Amino acid sequence: MSQSFDASRSLAALEQDNTIIAVIEMSKAKWLVAALVPGLKRQPLKKIAADAPALLKLLQRWRDEAGRAGHTVQRIAVAYEAAGDGFWLARWLRAHGIEAYAIHPGSVAVSREHRRAKTDRLDTELLMRAF
């Protein structure tokens, strides 16, 4: 995962067979990470400590799982809501060869029926749709 970040890659078409897409619902103590991983029928959902190296380790684990399923991951893209946490994580991930996108919270659509039912799992689903 030591490849340099190239913003032009984000303009490329999404190739689902070799791209991991992950979204993060962040809180101060824990992060809930949901992903689409090539070769996996399930959509992984993992709660980890609010720690960037732990996130990198998780992404590498999912890359390895995709490899065991016969898919070589060439691209990892991560998105999260840029609230109080700002952009430090995006800069850190990019420095580690991961595409990172901080999404403005207002651009994540919330349906009326879900406005009262706010859960981290629901938030990751909405982020995945926005991304």
Q: Which of 121, 131, 126, 128 is nearest to 110 (CA)?
A: 126
Tens digit of pLDDT at every position of the chain (131 positions): 445 555 555 556 678 889 999 999 988 899 999 999 999 988 899 999 999 999 999 999 999 999 999 999 999 999 998 777 678 999 999 999 999 999 877 665 555 455 555 566 666 676 666 65
Cα radius of gyration (the chain): 14
Does 123 map to a domain?
A: yes
Does 75 map to a domain?
A: yes
Does 1 map to a domain?
A: no
Does 23 map to a domain?
A: yes
Number of domains in the chain: 1
Does 124 map to a domain?
A: yes
Does 76 map to a domain?
A: yes
Give me the pLDDT at residue 121, please: 62
Domain containing residue 48: 7-130
Instruction: Specify the CATH number for the domain of residue 87.
Output: 3.30.420
